Amino acid sequence: MLKPSTAFSDVTGSPLSPALLKLIEVVEEENLALQQHQILVHAGYTDRKNQALRELMAAQRFGNPAEAGRASEPLLRRLSAALRTNAALLKLHIAAVGELSDIIIGGLRAADSDGTYSRSRIRGV
> SS3 sequence, the chain?
CCCCCHHHHHHCCCCCHHHHHHHHHHHHHHHHHHHCCCCCCCHHHHHHHHHHHHHHHHHHCCCCHHHHHHHCHHHHHHHHHHHHHHHHHHHHHHHHHHHHHHHHHHHHHHHHHCCCCCHHHHCCC
What per-residue confidence (pLDDT) applies to 114? 60
What per-residue confidence (pLDDT) applies to 124? 54
Task: Tell me the pLDDT tens digit for each residue of 1-45.
Answer: 444 444 444 455 688 899 999 999 999 999 999 999 887 788 999
Task: Tell me the pLDDT tens digit for each residue of 76-96.
Answer: 999 999 999 999 999 999 998
Domain boundaries, the chain: 14-122
What per-residue confidence (pLDDT) applies to 119? 58
Answer yes or no: is pLDDT of 122 > 60.
Answer: no
What per-residue confidence (pLDDT) applies to 1? 43
